[in-house]
Amino acid sequence: MVKKKSSKWIILVLIILAAFISIFPFLWMVSTSFMSEDVIFSLPIQLWPNKLFKAGMWENYKTVISKYSFGLYTWNSFLISFLAALGQIVVCPMASFAFAKMRFPGRRWIYALLLMTLMIPVQVIIIPEYYLMMKLGWINTFLPLIIPSFLSGALGTFMFISVFEAIPSAMFDAAVIDGASAYKILWRVYFPQATASVATLFIIGFMNNWNDLLRPLLYLNKAKLYTVTIGLTRFQTEYTSSWALLLTASVLSVLPLIIVYIFCQRYIIENQMSAGVKG
Amino acid sequence: MAEKQKFKWHSWATPYILIFPTLIGLFVFRLIPIVSSFVLSFSNWNLIKDPVFNGLENYKELFSDPDFWVILGNTLKITVGYVVGGMVFGLLLALLVNNKIRGMNFFRAAIYMPVITSSVAVGIVWLRILGPKYGILDYLLKMVGITAPYWLQDPKIALWTVTFVQVWKMSGYYMILFLAGLQSISTDVIEASVVDGASPRQRLFRVIIPMLSPTTFFVFTVAIMDAFKNFELIYAMTKGGPQNATNTLVYSVYVNAFSYFRVGYAETIAWVLMAVVGSLTLVNFYVKKYWAQPLE
């Protein structure tokens, strides 16, 4: 599309600038995590971390992990996010298969209600949800953060409806003629055909739960149950004076997701692109 | 498709078994809470004692509270700033990364990265970047002779600073959505416009942008819904301050319910939020009926 050579250079410069602005805060975060407190509060500003490749370079990390139990918080976040994502890849394909392949009374109504609830801000429903969890005695357990993922997932359901509708009907017909049950067709024919979408939904579910703040904040009030996001906010309110430790904790909180992202970015970005085309 | 089947390949109960968990979730975690929060918005409640219904008292108190109007105004400002900012940057970035340049996948992935990281970590690192004196932004501005304002301490600026950080975080998402739209425009149309002698500017405004409009509506809907997801960032960056300058409806619901334990009052605010979101989506639905594909 680009004709002139000079405009191609301008575009390249702009793209590099945009990419730089997007990742600079993360570089700055990592850089600060290898600084000592006096370097952070010194002028002129140091970009290069003073402790990097020197004795005691991992000091901030050691403090955050052992003294402020970020290792435990990371494990809690991992456990919650993994189980919640697992719930999504079980419950969403089931509902989608019924919506995409079966006709039953109430189908349109239920679909419309699911679509409607997508737009409801979480703040509208969170108080009754909290009350329910309180009555169930689930406060200070991981259950309020995991069980709902096994029971609902409007976004994942919509995603799988279109994936299942795109699977050639010849496969469906063959399975029906062979006399396979509906469950067999779902789990043995349709589910394996949708591996890429299953992986994508798992990753998205994992990330959303990993990054969630509101629900962990409400449901987990004991330090040994904290997720990384609450750990980070508690750390921030109690130790704001220590930027080095705060940003070290931030690095630890985003690192697992960034590693997953580096390996799976193609899936994630392609999934978002197909969502865009549908509109 | 299934109607054409001459025989039943599943029993009448099968679809209900398959949607059973979703149905439970829909009622227990969505519909019942929505109805109860509406009912509770007419009550005085602290989560522990039984709610005492007090008619329109909460609504009267809310609408006569000057702070509420500030908070509502902030919410609308953030929404407009976020939707406009997110869509403009999203489109510009999409136009940029739609070019064929070696290593483009890397650049796209880099620009998308803030989208997947937690708002809390993003908020904290921006606190450091925007910090007075030792923050890098103030430092750079000082080098070119500009005295930076207090980004988060000045009540006139703080709201826009938070909006900017949210736009920075999410632009990559809208970039990808716009990019998908751009790539679905047939190259024939664009080549035809080149043959007809359209200038690059005409090509953009007369061909590309009009042909992109289905995507634009989709992005608009998504951005409006995302605009209300600012709780995490505000919690991490400002806690609604200074003096309510960055307080929004979503943040205010949380504070009233879980810090002041004025739960009924919080539900009243939640339902004002619901009315705002509802009317915005209604407007959008008039323009475009369904963005999730309708069932045949």
What's the pLDDT tens digit per position in B191-205?
888 888 888 888 888
Question: Would you state the pLDDT for residue B196?
Answer: 84
Question: Would you state the pLDDT for residue A180?
Answer: 85
Q: How far is A11 from chain B (nearest CA, A)?
A: 6
Contact A30, A251 (CB under 8 A): yes
Of A94, A117, A279, the CB nearest to B18: A94
Question: Would you state the pLDDT for residue B269?
Answer: 95
The CATH number for B270's domain is 1.10.3720.10
Residue of A nearest to B112 (CA): A22
Residues B149, B257 within the same domain: yes
- Asked if the Cβ–Cβ distance from A99 to B120 is below 8 Å, we say no
Distance, in Å, from the CA atom of B45 to the CA atom of B264, rounded to the nearest integer, reads: 5
Please, what sign has the CA dihedral across residues B156, B158, B164, B170? negative
Q: Taking 80 as the threshold, does the pLDDT of residue A42 lie above it?
A: no
Which chain B residues contact residue A127 at CB under 8 A?
Answer: 33, 37, 40, 253, 257, 263, 266-267, 270
Question: Would you state the pLDDT for residue A229?
Answer: 93
Which chain A residues contact residue B107 at CB under 8 A?
Answer: 15-16, 18-19
Which chain B residues contact residue A205 at CB under 8 A?
Answer: none
- Asked if the Cβ–Cβ distance from B231 to A158 is below 8 Å, we say no
Residues B114, B22 within the same domain: no
Residue B184 located in a structural domain: yes
Question: Would you state the pLDDT for residue A1?
Answer: 47
Q: How far is B106 from chain A (nearest CA, A)?
A: 9
Question: Would you state the pLDDT for residue B23?
Answer: 93
Question: Would you state the pLDDT for residue B181?
Answer: 87
Q: What percent of chain B has pLDDT over 90?
A: 49
What burial class does residue A81 get, using C-beta atoms within 10 Å of its C-beta: 0-12 exposed, 13-18 middle, 19+ buried? Answer: buried
Which residues have C-beta within 8 Å of that of residue A93, sequence separation ≥ 6? Answer: A160, A164, A186, A190, A191, A194, A198
Q: Taking 50 as the threshold, does the pLDDT of residue B293 lie above it?
A: no
Of B3, B217, B231, the CB nearest to A279: B217
Distance, in Å, from the CA atom of B60 to the CA atom of B80, rounded to the nearest integer, reads: 27
Which chain B residues contact residue A22 at CB under 8 A?
Answer: 110-114, 168, 172
Residues B20, B111 within the same domain: no
Number of Cβ within a 10 Å radius of residue A38: 9
- Per the DSSP assignment, residues forming a β-bridge with A271 are none
| pLDDT-based confidence at residue B1 (cuts at 50, 70, 90) | very low
- Asked if the Cβ–Cβ distance from B25 to A148 is below 8 Å, we say yes
Residues B31, B100 within the same domain: no
Question: Would you state the pLDDT for residue A251?
Answer: 92
Q: How far is A230 from chain B (nearest CA, A)?
A: 9
What burial class does residue A195 get, using C-beta atoms within 10 Å of its C-beta: 0-12 exposed, 13-18 middle, 19+ buried? Answer: exposed
Distance, in Å, from the CA atom of B99 to the CA atom of B116, rounded to the nearest integer, reads: 24
Residue B50 located in a structural domain: no
Number of Cβ within a 10 Å radius of residue B282: 9
Residues B25, B62 within the same domain: no
Residues B61, B36 within the same domain: no
Please, what sign has the CA dihedral across residues A115, A116, A117, A122? positive
Average pLDDT over residues B1-14: 68
Residues B94, B33 within the same domain: no
- Asked if the Cβ–Cβ distance from A99 to B295 is below 8 Å, we say yes
- Asked if the Cβ–Cβ distance from B295 to A134 is below 8 Å, we say no
- Asked if the Cβ–Cβ distance from A232 to B124 is below 8 Å, we say yes
DSSP A69: -
Q: Taking 60 as the threshold, does the pLDDT of residue B296 lie above it?
A: no
| pLDDT-based confidence at residue A194 (cuts at 50, 70, 90) | confident
ipTM: 0.87
Which chain B residues contact residue A276 at CB under 8 A?
Answer: 176-181, 215, 218-219
The residue ranking higher by pLDDT, B289 or A222, is: A222
Scan residues 109-138 of B and list those with Cβ closer than 8 Å to A: 109-114, 116-122, 124-126, 128-129, 133-134, 136
Residue B48 located in a structural domain: no
Nearest to B227 by CA among A124, A272, A121: A121
Residue B161 located in a structural domain: yes
Range of the domain at B10: 1-40
Q: Taking 90 as the threshold, does the pLDDT of residue B46 lie above it?
A: no
Nearest to B74 by CA among B227, B289, B256, B215: B227
Question: Would you state the pLDDT for residue A21?
Answer: 94
Round the average pLDDT of chain B to a whole number and report it. 87
Question: Would you state the pLDDT for residue B7?
Answer: 63
Give the number of domains in chain B. 2
Which chain A residues contact residue B96 at CB under 8 A?
Answer: 11, 14-15, 18
- Asked if the Cβ–Cβ distance from A148 to B29 is below 8 Å, we say yes
List pLDDT tens digits, range A129-178.
999 999 999 999 999 999 998 998 888 898 888 888 888 888 888 888 88
Question: Would you state the pLDDT for residue A226?
Answer: 94
Question: If you search the block for the tokens 């929004």, which residue do you land on?
Answer: B248
Residues B168, B285 within the same domain: yes
Residue of A nearest to B262 (CA): A127
Residues B28, B129 within the same domain: no
Residue B148 located in a structural domain: yes
Residues B92, B6 within the same domain: no
Distance, in Å, from the CA atom of B226 to the CA atom of B82, rounded to the nearest integer, reads: 9
Which chain A residues contact residue B217 at CB under 8 A?
Answer: 279
Instruction: List the single range of A42-46, A56-60, A81-85, A221-225 with lowest mean pLDDT.
Output: A42-46
Average pLDDT over residues B110-128: 92
| pLDDT-based confidence at residue B287 (cuts at 50, 70, 90) | low
Q: What is the 3-state secondary structure (H, E, C) of A203-241?
A: HHHHHHHHHCCHHHHHHCCCHHHCCHHHHHHHHHHHCCC
Instruction: List the single range of A245-249, B79-83, B196-200 with lowest mean pLDDT.
Output: B196-200
Distance, in Å, from the CA atom of B66 to the CA atom of B85, rounded to the nearest integer, reads: 28
Q: Give the phi and the psi of residue B134 in degrees, each rounded to 5.
A: -95, 0
Q: Taking 80 as the threshold, does the pLDDT of residue B284 lie above it?
A: no
Of B96, B178, B228, the CB nearest to A121: B228
Distance, in Å, from the CA atom of B87 to the CA atom of B84, rounded to the nearest integer, reads: 5
Q: How far is B62 from chain A (nearest CA, A)?
A: 16
Distance, in Å, from the CA atom of A17 to the CA atom of A3, rounded to the nearest integer, reads: 22
Rounded to the nearest angstrom, the gap between the alpha carbon of residue A187 and the centroid of all alpha carbons in its chain is 25
Nearest to A85 by CA among A211, A192, A181: A211
Nearest to B5 by CA among A145, A71, A154, A185: A185
Residues B77, B196 within the same domain: yes
Round the average pLDDT of chain A to a whole number and report it. 87
- Asked if the Cβ–Cβ distance from B292 to A158 is below 8 Å, we say yes
Residue B24 located in a structural domain: yes
Distance, in Å, from the CA atom of B237 to the CA atom of B124, rounded to the nearest integer, reads: 7
| Helix, strand and coil in chain A, % to nearest 5 | 75, 0, 25
Long-range pairs for A232-235: beta carbons < 8 A, 24 or more residues apart: A232/B118, A232/B120, A232/B121, A232/B124, A232/B236, A233/B120, A233/B235, A233/B236, A235/A68
Residue B33 located in a structural domain: yes
Q: What percent of chain B has pLDDT over 70?
A: 94
Alpha-carbon distances, residue A180 vs A186, A189, B162, B203 (angstroms): 10, 10, 55, 54
Instruction: Suggest the residue from B128, B188, B218, B235 to mutate for an interface test with chain A (most A CBs closer than 10 A).
Output: B128
Q: Taking 60 as the threshold, does the pLDDT of residue B271 lie above it?
A: yes
Average pLDDT over residues B108-129: 92
What burial class does residue B197 get, using C-beta atoms within 10 Å of its C-beta: 0-12 exposed, 13-18 middle, 19+ buried? Answer: exposed
Average pLDDT over residues A41-51: 75
Residues B35, B65 within the same domain: no
Of B14, B23, B266, the CB nearest to A110: B23
Residue B108 located in a structural domain: yes
Instruction: Suggest the residue from B24, B37, B252 to mutate for an interface test with chain A (most A CBs closer than 10 A).
Output: B37
